[in-house]
């Protein structure tokens, strides 16, 4: 039974990166009422603010702590951390703030997202960020998100960049800007030694506005639909159920997992799946929950030759974006130095607790494998069925194998010799293609860059149009990582900020 109903102009579902942006921007207009709903808590764990603490945030109250179904390629389940609470994944990620290469967004246009190329998104990248000392035609200097490279790189990171140059890779003047190829220090959203989440940058300054309500610990059950229009949402806080009516629009910003779940519980999704889980079909949209893409990731881990200097910044301050094959048009491989042993949970600890080490992480940036997010049942409290389907396309494993070779070339370069002890993972016995591929299967972990489940486009499997409107329903949009037709060649957070900033303009009309 519904306990109460309230009416708003806009209801925003999910206070992650996109939700914080959209709720804050829409509430700039004092003439509209905005409701922002978030399933997580109002107060994050204290460790969220500490840049070096991000590896420890997985499994805390700030994480939905999802786990995939068993993966055919790996033989096991893959943990899928994603942010829960104000700021969403921007509160638990590694704070790397960078755009995909412009070729990533050109691929969106080819996939049917006309008007969403790099140049179309550039004004929104500029609007979101505050970066000093860069080309103002391509980098923003007045946005809410303050980003900059590390003030001083860890000595092993400096050696990593020198090693990349030593083996022939170019230095990038701005590896975060989306225009360069090569290696360099990337931007981080760290301000005065503390993480700056989307909640910090956008939402907190707006919280005193009388026209903005933020409700936390609020689990959205479904949207409410009448005569082809979304009229609001139903949600619960504890045992109480509420209805929030929307005079204007409902905007789903629950991310690649959360947004398709709300759609499917509302009867919007693939007909056969909805019937299987006991949900009445309202709009048959077969693309909802399909098209999952993620960057598969692995690491080469070295035991340090001696004591490591104290860590600063975020554990990962520099990376390279390159091509696995020089003949490729797009950049499809990222290498990153992580100044701790960073390995898949399925692997045993690579060294004793008192030993130190570092990792060279590798990730395929343009994977071809596609997975799905599905309901386990109609109950909104049931965990979803997550199937990323890693390595289902052999191309991805080929790119990762090439990346493993590059990581080792860099790892064994003279520049890293003063820091390099033994190679712990994969280990000296892993040399031929077959054993490298086996290691890449065992060591796979998510990069937590899942996208695509409500993808934008014009074909039958598109979920939203290029205005981010859900097909077949008026008054309902999706604006988060789930609308990306294809994954970008970078950590995804900066792109989500840009999508959200553009969504505000689209909503305002």
Q: Which residues are annotated as a binding site?
A: 220, 447
Instruction: Give the separation between CA 345 and CA 355, rounded to whole angstroms.
Output: 18
Contact 358, 261 (CB under 8 A): no
Active-site entry in 130, 221, 295, 449? 449
Distance, C-alpha 322 to centroid of its chain? 20
Residue 146 falls in the annotated catalytic set: no
Contact 262, 480 (CB under 8 A): no
Q: Which two tokens stand for residue 123?
A: 């004004």
- Please state the three-class secondary structure of 428-449 as a single string: CCCCCHHHHHHHHHHCCEECCC
Q: Which residues are annotated as a binding site for substrate?
A: 447
Instruction: Give the separation between CA 475 and CA 472, rounded to whole angstroms.
Output: 10
Number of residues assigned to the chain: 509
- Please state the three-class secondary structure of 446-482 as a single string: ECCCCECCCCECCCCCCCECCCCEECCCECEEECCHH
Q: Based on the number of CB atoms within 10 Å of its own CB, is 120 exposed (0-12), middle (13-18) or buried (19 or more)?
A: middle
Distance, C-alpha 216 to centroid of its chain? 21
Q: Which two tokens stand for residue 9?
A: 């102009």
Q: Based on the number of CB atoms within 10 Å of its own CB, is 105 exposed (0-12), middle (13-18) or buried (19 or more)?
A: buried
Instruction: Give the separation between CA 183 and CA 173, rounded to whole angstroms.
Output: 9
For the chain, what is the total number of helices (H) and then of strands (E)?
A: 10, 24
Q: Which two tokens stand for residue 156?
A: 């092993």
Instruction: Give the separation between CA 318 and CA 188, rounded to whole angstroms.
Output: 10
What DSSP string describes 36-102?
EE-SS-SS--GGGG-GGGGGGGTTSTTB--EEPPPPTTTSS--EE--B-STTGGGGTS--B--PPPH
DSSP 112: T
List active site positions: 449
């Amino acid at each position: 039974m519904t306990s109460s109903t309230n009416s708003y102009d806009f209801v925003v579902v999910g206070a992650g990166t996109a939700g914080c942006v959209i709720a804050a921007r829409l509430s700039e207009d004092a003439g509209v009422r905005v409701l922002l709903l978030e399933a997580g808590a109002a107060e994050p764990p204290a460790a969220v603010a500490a840049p070096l603490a991000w590896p420890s945030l997985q499994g805390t109250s700030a994480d939905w702590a999802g786990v995939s179904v068993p993966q055919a390629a790996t033989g096991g389940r893959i943990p899928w951390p994603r942010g829960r609470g104000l700021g969403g994944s921007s509160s638990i990620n590694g704070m790397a703030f960078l755009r995909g290469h412009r070729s990533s967004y050109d691929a969106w246009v080819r996939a049917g997202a006309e008007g969403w190329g790099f140049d179309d998104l550039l004004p929104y990248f500029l609007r979101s960020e505050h970066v000093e000392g860069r080309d103002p035609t391509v980098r923003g200097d007045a946005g809410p998100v303050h980003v900059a490279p590390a003030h001083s790189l860890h000595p092993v990171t400096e050696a990593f960049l020198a090693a990349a140059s030593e083996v022939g890779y170019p230095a990038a003047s701005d590896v975060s800007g989306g225009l360069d190829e090569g290696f360099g220090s990337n931007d981080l959203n760290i301000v005065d030694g503390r993480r700056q989440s989307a909640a910090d940058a956008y939402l907190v300054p707006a919280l005193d506005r009388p026209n903005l309500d933020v409700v936390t610990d609020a689990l959205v059950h479904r949207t409410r639909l009448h005569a082809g229009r979304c009229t609001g949402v139903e949600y619960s806080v504890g045992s109480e159920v509420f209805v929030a009516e929307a005079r204007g629009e409902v905007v789903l910003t629950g991310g690649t997992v959360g947004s398709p779940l709300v759609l499917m519980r509302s009867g919007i999704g693939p007909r056969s799946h909805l019937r299987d889980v006991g949900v009445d079909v309202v709009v048959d949209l077969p693309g909802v929950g399909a098209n999952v893409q993620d960057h598969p990731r692995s690491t080469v881990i070295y035991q340090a030759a001696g004591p490591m200097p104290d860590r600063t910044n975020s554990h990962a301050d520099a990376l390279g974006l390159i091509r696995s094959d020089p003949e490729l048009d797009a950049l499809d491989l990222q290498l990153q130095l992580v100044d701790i042993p960073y390995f898949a949970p399925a692997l045993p600890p690579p060294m004793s607790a008192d030993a130190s080490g570092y990792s060279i992480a590798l990730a395929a940036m343009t994977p071809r494998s596609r997975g799905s997010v599905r309901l386990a049942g109609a109950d909104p409290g049931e965990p979803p069925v997550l199937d990323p389907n890693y390595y289902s396309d052999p191309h991805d494993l080929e790119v990762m194998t090439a990346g493993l070779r590059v990581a080792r070339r860099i790892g064994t370069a003279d520049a890293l010799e003063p820091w390099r002890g033994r190679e712990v993972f994969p280990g000296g016995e892993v040399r031929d293609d077959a054993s490298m591929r086996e290691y890449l299967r065992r060591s796979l972990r998510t990069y937590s860059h899942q996208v695509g489940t409500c993808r934008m486009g014009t074909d039958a499997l598109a979920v939203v149009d290029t205005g981010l409107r859900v097909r077949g329903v008026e008054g309902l949009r999706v604006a988060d990582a789930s609308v990306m037709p294809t994954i970008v060649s970078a950590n995804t957070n900066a792109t989500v900020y840009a999508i959200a900033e553009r969504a505000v303009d689209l909503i305002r009309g």
